[in-house]
Structure 1
């Protein structure tokens, strides 16, 4: 009996031991072990994801090509701000020197040299846009940017149809500068700049021209700042543009023997040779006249110029063109460009637009686009103390520009603060004026040959060796021959 009891006790003890061992090695233990593995996997995934998100972007080096030394000054003044925002994108500025500057940039792109960002060529880029420049529409759409709203009418200077090949950066709209000293002496009030016409302007400069007792000109009533540089070509074609003229018609034919163009040339001829209120090319060359400088000196009462020139009055004081006494009188004012005639819309102007683009061959289009966008907006603002430029960007900080434009480099190379010209600078920044561009010439590469023919004939006209009608007729015939030859190819 005792033996049976011992066996029963032993059996119970074994069963209890098995039960305990089963509890230690059963499903609960396996669940805890699996949970530990899953937690480790989840933690690893989170760590890897966080690592990817915090991983520094790949470093990229861009090369920015420009023919402008002023671009380099602006770059030097602003690049530190860019580097602080985009430390992974290094930008090298390459200034192209010598002759045929844009030709050298084209050669660099075609030759496979690393070129990422470039200053765009002028109006003639459109026939080769897709070969030279990277189309930006996709990037601009991703940014949600309304390019035409952000850059106003100046945006069209970088577009071919709806395709955007660059970003407009700074502008040089035409205007009229007047010296109030001469208007006051002649008893002339400032004209209504919103309604006056070119006939009003040419009448005004007749009254402003001053002659000595012998009839010699002491003060010319007016001058176009480009006349001496372009042998009259720039002033003539710009004024005709205000009435919708272009050297080529919509279907590519020459448009030189045209009443609008003839009317403009005759206005200038009358001012130079009949009324003698503007200097002729011979006068300009003989007296070494420079419109902007001689206007500041008081030798010319008004000039057709560009608004951005007003940003350099302090510089011209250091160079002796504008005296402290004259500058203190605040008599140099800006007026909007006159309308072509009374039927023309108000608030229109011709302008140069300076734009920048991505090279078509860039290997880093996204990074290059980020720099391009910054360069044409914030970069211009950051460099405004050393590069006085009027922005195309409508979002520019006007107060900062007005303040920073006061600074200039003196004759000792020091950056110094100049005169407060807030009223004048607000006129410079007026974006209510609509820019006009030639409508058709960029669609036809041979239009440049038409311009050459017109320039040749104008030089003969302004030398007094051919009348206007004959010159335009001859240029038209020469261009018709060019048109036929080009369209036989």
Structure 2
């Protein structure tokens, strides 16, 4: 294992938004992040009229659903008015950084895991444990994913899991049996993918390259008793482990199980709907479970979720429940009680669950999930059943990504391309990845 080194502060840098973020968060650093009472209290028990603001990102359909759930909340709490503050994903954190820098942070902030530590470490977010939000029906491992130094800075809106999406028809067309995902190994995965490509004459690729996304490696490392990040915010794996992971990728490419490098890069850029499995050109691909509906709709075929390979052969299981996104509360909110009431409603009220369903992941509150499951679409029901099957296999969740982790998605995508094109060996790629990520997270 890599010897942890003391974690150093790292400036908030992810494109233009993080240049502003240095102003942002410095402006808020004068008070401790866990003090939810940084502003004046209001809106809670007094029933005096208050207005709070809730920020989120997403599509037009998400915006419509969110307006619906706001209306339901305001009907239940008529003294609280909720202002909508939304934009698309590409603009969201830029806008948020500017708002926080100007002392105009939303009261309820939708967060993403790679940026949670950035905001929490600079005093922007309140400790939800200190507010009146019931989290008793949320799995402890899921709660831990939003916890830093025993303070809950983000609570999951919903959960999903990184898994293998499989097309049973593609297997059948190639004359290959579906794997037993409770026992299959990484070698099995490579062999099956290569066999599908061979038997189909290359008309169906057995798999789509998985190396562009760090969650897959996180699972691989966890299966070996290692981890992508430690609780101290440093890297927690040996470079040799990452080299092995990339070697499997090259074995797939060499055996025809995945396409050539140029095609793999093109397919990755196309997103879920343009994936090999989404266009009936592949049998397996790695995606988050909440992407199943979009992929199945694109493919026009029933698809299936499988455990990732290697869950039964390593030191432990590596899969984990990931928050689709987090609800956070501003440490500077003038109405923290009202903000807490909104978050509590979103998490725990069945009316909210019936409106949002799986839009922000399958409901993190397991009672709400069970109560609204009959209203899910077929693919969401399939995902819910898959998550339920995993509940007694999930050991824990990974540590909250450290400050600077927002850069890692781009680093691994770029390095993976060099591996696929043969510019870097797996070992050299692993060492490059470690070097660049350590620079990004300041370890």
Q: TM-score, normalised by structure 1?
A: 0.69
User: Could you say which residue in structure 1 is the equivalent of 2:362?
Assistant: 390
* Equivalent of 2:53 in 63, 74, 79: 63
Q: Show the 5 A alignment for 1:117-156.
A: 117-129=108-120, 131-140=123-132, 145=134, 147=136, 150-156=138-144
C-alpha distance in structure 2 between counterparts of 1:426 and 1:259, whole Å: 35
Cα deviation, residue 391, structure 1:
1.7
Q: Which has the larger displacement, 245-254 or 156-165?
A: 245-254
Cα deviation, residue 263, structure 1:
0.7
C-alpha distance in structure 2 between counterparts of 1:113 and 1:289, whole Å: 36
Contact preservation (8 Å) 2:224, 2:316: no
Contact preservation (8 Å) 2:223, 2:317: no
User: Could you say which residue in structure 2 is the equivalent of 1:193?
Assistant: 181
C-alpha distance in structure 1 between counterparts of 2:100 and 2:153, whole Å: 15
Matched, 1:223 2:213: no
Q: For residues 118-144 of structure 1, what are the alpha-carbon distances to aligned partners after superposition, in whole Å with 9 as ceiling and x for unaligned?
A: 10132342254151111121225xx6x
Q: Show the 5 A alignment for 1:368-407.
A: 368-378=339-349, 380-384=352-356, 387=359, 389-398=361-370, 400-403=372-375, 405-406=376-377
C-alpha distance in structure 2 between counterparts of 1:247 and 1:397, whole Å: 30
Contact preservation (8 Å) 2:317, 2:395: no
Contact preservation (8 Å) 1:117, 1:359: yes
Gaps of 5+ in 2: 1-44
Q: For residues 131-163 of structure 1, what are the alpha-carbon distances to aligned partners after superposition, in whole Å with 9 as ceiling and x for unaligned?
A: 1111121225xx6x454x523421112111321
Cα deviation, residue 90, structure 1:
1.0
Contact preservation (8 Å) 1:118, 1:357: yes
Going from structure 1 to structure 2, the CA distance change for 1:290 and 1:360 (only over 3 Å counts) comes to closer
Report SS of the residue matched to 2:183: coil
Q: TM-score, normalised by structure 2?
A: 0.75
User: Could you say which residue in structure 2 is the equivalent of 1:412?
Assistant: none
Cα deviation, residue 237, structure 1:
4.6
Q: Show the 5 A alignment for 1:119-268.
A: 119-129=110-120, 131-140=123-132, 145=134, 147=136, 150-210=138-198, 217-224=202-209, 231=212, 233=214, 235-247=216-228, 258-268=239-249
Report SS of the residue matched to 2:368: coil
C-alpha distance in structure 1 between counterparts of 2:340 and 2:88, whole Å: 25
Q: For residues 387-430 of structure 1, what are the alpha-carbon distances to aligned partners after superposition, in whole Å with 9 as ceiling and x for unaligned?
A: 37312222224353332x33xxxxxxxxxxxx698556533555
Structure ranking higher in helix proportion: 1
Contact preservation (8 Å) 1:172, 1:306: yes
Going from structure 1 to structure 2, the CA distance change for 1:238 and 1:83 (only over 3 Å counts) comes to same
Report SS of the residue matched to 2:430: helix
User: Could you say which residue in structure 2 is the equivalent of 1:305?
Assistant: 287
Contact preservation (8 Å) 1:64, 1:115: yes
Q: Which has the larger displacement, 355-364 or 424-433?
A: 424-433
Matched, 1:322 2:338: no
C-alpha distance in structure 2 between counterparts of 1:436 and 1:121, whole Å: 19
Q: Show the 5 A alignment for 1:394-433.
A: 394-398=366-370, 400-403=372-375, 405-406=376-377, 422=381, 425-427=384-386, 430=389, 432=391, 433=393
Contact preservation (8 Å) 1:198, 1:340: no
Going from structure 1 to structure 2, the CA distance change for 1:429 and 1:396 (only over 3 Å counts) comes to farther
User: Could you say which residue in structure 2 is the equivalent of 1:344?
Assistant: 315
Matched, 1:362 2:352: no
Higher relative contact order by CA 8 Å / sep ≥ 6: 1 or 2? Answer: 2
Matched, 1:466 2:424: yes
Cα deviation, residue 352, structure 1:
5.0
